[in-house]
Amino acid sequence: MSNSFRLSLSVNGEPIDALVDPAKTLLEVLREDLQLTGTKHGCELGECGACAVLVDGQPVLSCLALAVECGGRSVTTIEGIAAGDELHPLQDAMADLGGSQCGYCSPGIIVTAKALLDREPNPTREQIKEALSGNLCRCTGYLQIVEAVESAVQKLQTKVAAGLQPRATK
């Protein structure tokens, strides 16, 4: 692979060093080289949000990001959302409230919602809908997803009040 590039980045807090073909997307490197298959292949054209991951805290579509352009970046996938064995409140709430049905869109939705809550710990329903407007779901009709995010907001605030969770910084 004479045209390969050396890629150093952080994925879910772990430093990664790899040789990548420039024609590989971040999605392909995550799933095929790093075996992080939680991030899903959807339309692969930027039309569904299933492949969303966070790059430096911002939701982006990994199907349209060249891996070689992610050098030095910090990538968070759905595998990096839970704290050890303890699910993130967004994951709990999505499961409890039917926000995740077939589940295919859930990884993209959860990381996108996490980016919103990191930026805005107490979002309005409109802000939640706007933040998730790039994630398609064909099962839920969206209401359960929005309610799950609102429920996670409550859980996170309870944890913050009890000193179990650091306060989000804007």
Partner 1 sequence: MLRLPSFKYYAPASVEEAVDILGQSPETMMIVAGGTDVLPNMKRGQWKPKTLVGLRGIRELAVMMPGPGGSRIIGAGTTLSTLVGDELLQKNVRGLWQAAAQVATPHLRNMATIGGNLCLDTRCTYYDQSEEWRKAIGYCMKKDGSTCWVATSSKRCLAVSSTDTAPMLLALGAKVTLVSASGSRDVAVDDFYNNDGMSYLTKRADELLTSVSLPNLRGWTTSYWKLRRRGSFDFPVGAAAIALKLDGGVVEHARIALGAVASRPLLSEKASALLIGQKLTDEAIAAAAAAAYDIAKPMDNTDFELVWRKKMVKSLVTSALREARGDDMRAKRLSLARQIL
Q: Applying CB under 8 A, which of residues 39, 40, 59, 149 lies at the interface with partner 1?
A: 59
Q: Is 89 in the site for partner 1 (CB under 8 A)?
A: no
In the list 17, 85, 86, 126, the residue contacting partner 1 (rule: CB under 8 A) is 126
Residue 61 near partner 1 by CB under 8 A: yes
The one among 11, 24, 97, 137 contacting partner 1 by CB under 8 A: 24
By C-beta, is 12 or 112 nearer to partner 1? Answer: 112
Instruction: State how far the Cα of 148 lies from the Cα of 4, in Å rounded to an integer.
Output: 42
Q: Is 130 in the site for partner 1 (CB under 8 A)?
A: yes
Nearest Cα to Cα of residue 29 among 56, 78, 68: 68
For position 18 contacting partner 1 by CB under 8 A, the verdict is no
Calculate the CA dihedral of residues 152, 153, 158, 164 and round it to 10 degrees.
Answer: 80
If the CB atoms of residues 32 and 161 are measured against partner 1, the closer one turns out to be: 32
Q: Is 22 in the site for partner 1 (CB under 8 A)?
A: yes
Site for partner 1 contains 169 (CB under 8 A): no
What's the token pair of residue 108?
């993209």
Could you tell me the smallest distance in angstroms from the CB atom of residue 96 to partner 1?
A: 25
Query: Quick one: which of 11, 65, 81, 94 contacts partner 1 (CB under 8 A)?
Result: 65
Q: Does 8 bind partner 1 (CB under 8 A)?
A: no
Query: Which one-letter amino acid corresponds to residue 169?
Result: T
> Which residue is listed with tokens 């407007």?
133
List residues binding partner 1 (CB under 8 A): 3, 5, 21-25, 28, 41, 44-47, 49, 52, 58-61, 64-66, 68-69, 112, 126, 130-131, 133-135
